[in-house]
Amino acid sequence: MGMMRQYELVDRVKSYNPNTDEDLLNRAYVYAMRAHGTQKRASGDPFFAHPLEVAAILTDLKLDDATIVAAVLHDTVEDTAATLEEIENLFGPDIRRLVDGLTKIKKLDLVSKKAAQGENFRKLLLAIVDDIRVLLVKLADRLHNMRTLHFVPPEKRLRIAEETIEIYAPLAGRMGMQELREELEELAFRHIKPEAHATVTKRLEEVTEREGKVIGEIEHDLKEKLAASGIQAEVHGRRKRPYSIWKKMERKSVSFEQLSDIFGFRVIVDRPEDCYRVLGLVHMTWPMVPGRYKDYISTPKQNDYRSIHTTVVGPGHSRVELQIRTDNMDRIAEYGIAAHAHYKDGRPGEPIQLADESRAYQWLRRTVDLLAEGDSPEEFLEHTKLELFHDQVFCFTPKGRLIALPRGATPIDFAYAVHTDVGNSAVGAKINGRIAPLLTELQNGDEVEITRAEGQAPPAAWESLVVTGKARAAIRRATRAAVRRQYAGLGRQILERAFTRAEKAFSDDKLKAALKRLARNTVDDVLAAVGRGEMYSGDVVKAVYPDLEPEKRATSEGRPAAAANSKDWFELGQGDNLKFKLPGEPGADAIPIRGLGRDLPVRFSPQGGAVPGDRIVGILSPGEGVTIYPIQSPALAAFDNEPDRWLDVRWDLDDKAPQRFPARIALKSINEPGSLAQITTIIAEHDGNIDAVQMNRPNPDFTDVTIDLTVWDLKHLSAIISELREKRQISRVERVLG
C-alpha cells in the first residue's frame, strides 16, 4: 500500500468537516514530511508514513483539524530537529500543547519495572486530562504500531503487546471506543497467545462455515418482522472477535462448544422508544434466555454506552445475542469520547469544548484527582488495572459511606475496601438486610453489612475468588501468618508426642537452649519446621537430649521404617509421575506409582477426596500405602495419637497432562420437578464430572443430595459451589470433608 497523499488526507477530513482549514492541513503535511526526511521505520517504509496512517485512523473518528494536525506532527519533536517553539509559531498554541502532551507520553516506556510503570501511567493520565485529544492521538498511534508489530524485533513485541492489553485497550474501552478497543485486543492477543489465537480463530471459521447461512437468515427474518410492524431498522450480524471469545472461555472456564453467543446482531433504529418496541417484538417471536437481558438505555454504563442487550433462542436453536440501539447510541458505542469531541459549530481554529455529557471524561478527571492524592505507583497501577477499567458497582455501608468496587466484587472485597481489619475478621455478610454468602456478586446500590469475629483468619481460597488488588494482597499476608501459626501448632503437637515417647520433659525453654544445634533462630521456627516436615521430631529430641539412645523401630513391609518415619515428603503428580522419596535409601529416589484412585500406595480419602489447592497430609497405613486427606478433614482426628503415620505431602502437578481430582459436595434442594436436572446441568456446564449422586428426602419439602464429583482444582470446585448457591431452588451447598 502506497503512502497517503496530501490531497487524500484533506479529502478525508473534508468528507465530514466541510469547513476544514485546508491550508493548515497542507502546511502540517509538508512540514512533517520535510522534518522526517529519509527516516525509515522497522518495516523499511518511510517513517513519515506512520504519522499519516495515525492521522487517517483519526479521520475515521471524524476528529477536528487540530487533532489531525497533531497526529501528523506527533513524532517530529521527539525524532527530528523540530522544536515546540517552531510548531507554536507555525501552527499556534493549541496544536503546540497537543504535540507537547504527545511528546511527553512518547518518553514514557510504559511496560518497565512495575514502580516506574505505575509512575508513567500516572503521567500518561495527567497528560491526557489536559486535553482528551492527546489520548485519541495516542490510541491511534498505538493502533498503527500494533498493526505493524510484526516488523518490530521479537523480544520487544511481547512487551508492547502486553502493555496494549493491560493499559491502552482498557483505556479505549473506558472511553467507550469499542471498535478501537477490540482491534487493539485482537492484535495484542495474536502476539501474546499465538496458539490460543490460532485455535479460536480456526474454530470460529469452522462454525461460520457451518452456520454462516444462519446469520443471513436471521438478519432477513428480523428485518421482515420489524418492517411488518412498521419499524425502520438496520440489522447487522457479526461474529465475535477471537479475543472476547477466548476471554469468556477463560472467565467462565467453559469449552468452545458451550459458548452460546458466537454471533451477535445489532439492530439500529431511529428513536429510543423504538428500541423498546424492537425488544418487545423480538421477545414475542423467539424465547429469551433468562438472565441475559440488560437495559443500558435506562442506566447507561460509566463510559456513556447505551443499548439494550438480550439473548434469544433463534432459528435452528442457535442462541442469538442482540444489541438494540439508536444511531446516536451506536456512534457513541463505536467512537466513545471521540463522538463528543466534534466541533460544536464547526468554526476552525477554536479549541473543542468537550461536551459536558461525557461521563467517560468525568471518570478520567476523577481518576486523576485520585492520582494527585498519590498511592504508591505500583498500587496505583494495580488499582487501575483491576478496578478503573471494569465497570464499577457502587455499594454502601450501613452508615451510608459509598464504596466503589469493580464489577464482580463480593462482600469480601467490600470488607477489605472498608478496612483491612474488617476483611481479615469477616465471617458473614448481610446484603440489603438479608444474610448472604460472602461470595455473592454485589450489585449497584447494595447496602452491605459485614459480620466480624475477632481472631479469625481469612481462608486462603479467598485469594483466588476476590477481584480487588487490595483484598488479594491482604489475604495473602493474613494467610501466610495463619498458615505459619497452624504449622507451628502442628509442630508443637508432634514434638510433645515425640518427647512423651522418649519419656523426656518438653518445654519451650529446653527448646530455646537447643536452638543453636538446630540452626534455627526462634522456638517458633523450630515448631513450624517440624510442622512442615522440614525437620524430623526425633532430631529435635536428640538436640535437646544429646545422650538419648535412638528408639528402635520395627520395619513394615520390608521397607525401612526409619525412612518412613523421617517425615518423608511425597510428591503427588499425574499418573506415572506419582512418586514418593525415601531419603537415605540408595536407588529409592523415586518409586513410580501408577494411576490414581485405584488400590495403590497413594489414594484419596474415600469420604470426600482432596483437590489441588487444598493443603494436604498423608497418613501411612502399613501395607496399604498412603491416604491423602485435606488438612481440615475431621477423619484425621483418628490418627492423632500415631504421629509416625503422618507424612507431609505436596501437590506436584503436570501442566501438560491436567487431571481431575475427587471431591464431595452436599446440598439441600427444594422439591420441585427438574431441580436435580438443574443441579447436574450446572455442574456439567462448569466442566465438573459427576461420579455418584445420593439422595435422601428428610421431609416432603426438601431433598438432601450428596454428589461425588471430580474437578481440576479448588478454584474450579469453589466456582461450581458458588454457581449452585446462586440458584433459588438450592437452599444450602457445602463441601464435605471426610
Indicate if the pLDDT at residue 231 is higher than 50: yes
- Please identify, among 638, 657, 676, the residue that sits at the C-terminal boundary of a domain: 657
Assess if residue 221 is contained within a domain. Answer: yes
The residue from 551, 580, 615 where one domain ends is: 551
Is 183 inside a domain boundary? no
Query: Is residue 354, in this structure, part of any structural domain at all?
Result: no
Contact 329, 171 (CB under 8 A): no
- CB contact at 8 A, 411 and 438: yes
pLDDT at residue 702 tops 80: yes
Integer angstrom CA distances of residue 153 from 42, 150, 160? 9, 8, 11
pLDDT of residue 380: 52
Q: How confident is the model at residue 571 (pLDDT cuts 50, 70, 90)?
A: very low
Catalytic residue IDs: 78-79
Residue 1 binned pLDDT confidence (cut-offs 50, 70, 90): low
Q: Which residue has better confidence, 585 or 111?
A: 111
Does 537 lie in the same domain as 482?
yes
Give me the residues paired with residue 237 across strands. Answer: 265
- Name the residue range of residue 618's domain: 553-657
Q: Which of 448-452, 551-555, 630-634 has the highest mean pLDDT?
A: 448-452
| Residues 637 and 584 reside in one and the same domain | yes
Query: Measured at the alpha carbon of residue 501, what is the angle toward residues 496 and 506, in degrees to the nearest 5?
Result: 35
The tally of domains found in the chain comes to: 6
| pLDDT of 670 above 70 | yes
Average pLDDT over every residue of 267-289: 90
pLDDT-based confidence at residue 591 (cuts at 50, 70, 90): very low
Indicate the pLDDT class of residue 468, thresholds 50, 70 and 90. confident
Look at residues 147, 118, 138 and name the one whose alpha carbon lies nearest to residue 41.
Answer: 147
705 domain-assigned:
yes
Same domain, yes or no, for 525 and 481? yes
Average pLDDT over residues 57-69: 87
- Asked, for residue 342, whether it belongs to a domain, the answer is no
pLDDT of residue 665: 93
Question: Per-residue confidence at 567, pLDDT binned at 50, 70, 90?
Answer: very low
Instruction: Check residues 643 and 399 and name the one with the higher pLDDT.
Output: 399
**450 CB-near residues (< 8 Å, 6+ apart):** 411, 414, 415, 418, 422, 426, 428, 429
| CATH number of residue 673's parent domain | 3.30.70.260
Q: Is residue 565 part of a domain?
A: yes
Residues 159 and 39 in one domain: yes
Instruction: List pLDDT tens digits, range 146-192.
Output: 999 988 888 888 888 988 887 788 778 777 788 888 999 999 999 99
CATH code: domain of residue 413: 3.10.20.30
Are 680 and 734 in contact by the 8 Å Cβ rule? The answer is no
Report which DSSP code applies to 522.
S
The reply to whether 72 and 173 lie within a common domain is: yes
How confident is the model at residue 351, as a pLDDT? 40
Q: Average pLDDT for residues 378-385, to the nearest whole number? A: 53
Tell me if 129 is assigned to some domain.
yes
Same structural domain for residues 485 and 585? no
Q: Which of 498, 528, 551 is the last residue of a domain?
A: 551
pLDDT of 379 > 80? The answer is no
C-alpha pair distances (Å), 576 with each of 334, 443, 594, 623: 53, 47, 5, 20
Amino acid identity of residue 400, one-letter, is G
| Whether the Cβ atoms of residue 61 and residue 342 lie closer than 8 Å to each other | no
Q: Model confidence over 240-267: pLDDT tens digits?
A: 888 888 887 777 666 776 666 677 889 9
Strand extents, DSSP E, 535-615: 569-572, 578-580, 591-593, 602-604
Judge if 398 and 498 occupy the same domain.
Answer: no
pLDDT-based confidence at residue 368 (cuts at 50, 70, 90): low
If one counts every other C-beta atom within 10 angstroms of the C-beta of residue 60, the result is 15
Question: What's the CATH code of the domain at 136?
Answer: 1.10.3210.10
Which residue stretches of 175-241 are H helix? 178-192, 194-228
Dihedral of the CA atoms 431, 437, 439, 442 (nearest 10)?
-20
CB under 8 Å to 231, separation ≥6 — which residues?
269, 274, 277, 278, 281
Same domain? 390 vs 443: yes
Q: How many CB atoms are closer than 10 A to CB 507?
A: 11
DSSP reduced 3-state for 459: coil
pLDDT bin (cut points 50, 70, 90) of residue 392 is: low
Asked if residue 539 has pLDDT above 70, the reply is yes
SS (H, E, C) 385-423: HHHHCCCEEEEECCCCCEEEEECCCCHHHHHHHHCHHHH
pLDDT in tens, 352-365: 444 444 555 565 55
274 and 150 housed in the same domain? no
User: Quick one: 33 and 130 in the same domain?
Assistant: yes
Reported pTM: 0.49
* More confidently predicted of 583 and 490: 490
Distances (CA, A) of 595 to 329, 575, 651, 687: 58, 4, 15, 22
Q: Per-residue pLDDT for 237 more than 60? A: yes
pLDDT exceeds cutoff 70 at 575: no
Residues, the chain? 738
Q: Are residues 22 and 164 in the same domain?
A: yes
Report the chain's mean pLDDT, rounded to a whole number.
Answer: 77
In whole angstroms, give the CA distance from residue 69 to residue 30.
11
- Would you say residue 711 has pLDDT above 70? yes
Give the C-alpha separation, 631 to 648, whole Å. 10
Same domain, yes or no, for 533 and 593? Answer: no
Q: Is residue 357 part of a domain?
A: no
The arrangement of strands across the sheet holding 625-630 comes to 591-593, 578-580, 569-572, 646-651, 616-621, 625-630, 602-604
